[in-house]
Amino acid sequence: MLKTLAVLAAVLFAAAAQAQAQTLKFGCYIPLTGPVAQYGKSMLNGFNMALKDFEATGKLKGAKVVIQCEDDQNRADDGINIARKFVEDKDVLAVLGSWASTVTLAAAPIYNTAKIVNMTPISSHPDVTKLGPYVFRQSIIQTAEGAANAEYLMKLGVKRLAMIGLPNDYGKANIALTRKAYEAKGGTVVFEEFIRPDAQDFRATLQKAMRENPDTIYMGLFAPQGSLVAKQARQMGIKIPIYGAAALDSRDFLKLAGDAAEGVRMLLVYNPSTGPKMAEFFKRYEQQFGAPPEPFAANAYLTFTMMLDMVATQMPKVNRESIREGLDKMRDLDTIAGPLKYDPATREWNFRFFPGLIEKGSFNVVK
């Protein structure tokens, strides 16, 4: 009889403990299918690696963390539909995403109205954090990249620049803000054109650009378009230097552009040569996933790690509003990218840019 009671008590205790265990649920919306699916999958790897690393710290002992990632297909309307779904799920504490500025700009106002944090690890359009107090970003911003691009271009002695960009929110901001900063330093933009993302032949654009006698071509593009522009430029015998947006720091660009990638310059944010923490992250990521990380994976890792660290300090009274308050109070952060500072006036983190060069098939920081 006593043995039966003891077993029953143990079962009841285990059931009570399980009932008390807190589940912390986060949503995420990223492109998992479609032409940029590789970038969303890279982000997913970063989120999963961050969760695995954080669980090993024991900081959330007794709590279970769940991240539910939905496929937005890099489409604004899908991002909006996912936002409505997450907002209605009262168990979702905060949402991470998206990859594209266009998708985040469309979906984030829904989260802001519902008073649930939407933090993007990637979207760099300057208007993202202006959408409201529940919209945060943990990545570079186009105004900062534009200024750093201008500084690097001037250091390289570029005086006449031809610019080719994408006609979306990202591309327009990237071209406009880089051009503004570059011209403010005395540079001259002699050509500017936006190309269709699904186009395959850019020779006419390159011919028009070269008529203006630029000394460098700037590509405010992603890997699929940037690789074609670089390859076709070299096939046409165009030998002037090519400079790319930071988004071209991608294994996809190296693979698609092949030999045409050699000598292309751009800004780098995540590179194993920038510090021991970053080098360790690159090593562990490659061990887990069989290839070096894209910047998007590093951003996702950094963002989710920051979120979990902050939530751990709020346990067990963590909720949607406490997460917003916690993020709002942050000022300093030690990350794989080194120490970062938050500017409450702009609501942005100050990332460091490194001048980069593609050489011998890899991205290298220029010393």
The encoded tokens of residue 40 equal: 């969303």
pLDDT value at residue 11: 35
The edge-to-edge listing of strands for the beta sheet with 242-244 is: 188-194, 160-165, 216-220, 242-244, 265-268, 354-359, 362-365
Contact 30, 69 (CB under 8 A): yes
pLDDT value at residue 293: 95
Residues 6+ apart with CB under 8 A from 228: 200, 202, 256
Q: How far apart are CA 241 and CA 161, in angstroms?
A: 10
CATH 3.40.50.2300 fits 19-140+276-349, yes or no: yes
Q: What is the DSSP string of 81-118?
A: HHHHHHHH-TTEEEEEE-SSHHHHHHHHHHHHHHT-EE
Q: How far apart are CA 345 and CA 53, in angstroms?
A: 32
Q: How far apart are CA 234 and CA 85, in angstroms?
A: 47
Rounded to 10°, the helix 101-114/76-88 angle is: 30
C-alpha dist (Å) from residue 109 to 14, 115, 118, 259, 264? 42, 10, 9, 43, 37
pTM score, two decimals? 0.91
Q: How far apart are CA 148 and CA 354, in angstroms?
A: 9
CA 122 to chain centre: 2
DSSP state, 259? G
Where do the structural domains in the chain lie, given as residue ranges? 19-140+276-349, 143-268
Q: How far apart are CA 178 and CA 225, in angstroms?
A: 19
Contact 269, 124 (CB under 8 A): no
Angle at 146 between CA 144 and CA 151, to 5 degrees: 95
Phi, psi angles (nearest 5°) of residue 186: 105, 0
Chosen CATH of 143-268 out of 3.40.1260.10, 3.40.50.2300, 3.30.70.100, 3.40.640.10: 3.40.50.2300
Residue 314's identity, in one-letter code, is: Q
pLDDT value at residue 168: 95
Question: Which residues face 315 on adjacent strands?
Answer: none
pLDDT value at residue 43: 98
Q: How far apart are CA 151 and CA 154, in angstroms?
A: 5
Q: How far apart are CA 270 and CA 183, in angstroms?
A: 27
Contact 79, 104 (CB under 8 A): yes
pLDDT value at residue 14: 38
Domains 19-140+276-349 and 143-268 fall in the same CATH topology: yes
Residues 6+ apart with CB under 8 A from 356: 249, 265, 266, 267, 268, 271, 363, 364, 365, 366
Closest CA relative to residue 70, chosen from 60, 79, 62: 79
CA 366 to chain centre: 22
Q: How far apart are CA 180 and CA 150, in angstroms?
A: 9
pLDDT value at residue 221: 97
Task: Report CA torsion sign: 311, 334, 250, 182.
Answer: positive
Contact 140, 162 (CB under 8 A): no
The encoded tokens of residue 184 equal: 């403010």
Using only C-alpha atoms, the chain has a radius of gyration, in whole angstroms, of: 23
pLDDT mean by block of 10 residues, the chain; 367 residues: 38 39 94 95 98 94 93 98 98 98 98 98 97 96 98 98 97 98 98 96 98 98 97 98 97 96 98 96 97 95 97 95 97 95 93 97 94
pLDDT value at residue 20: 54
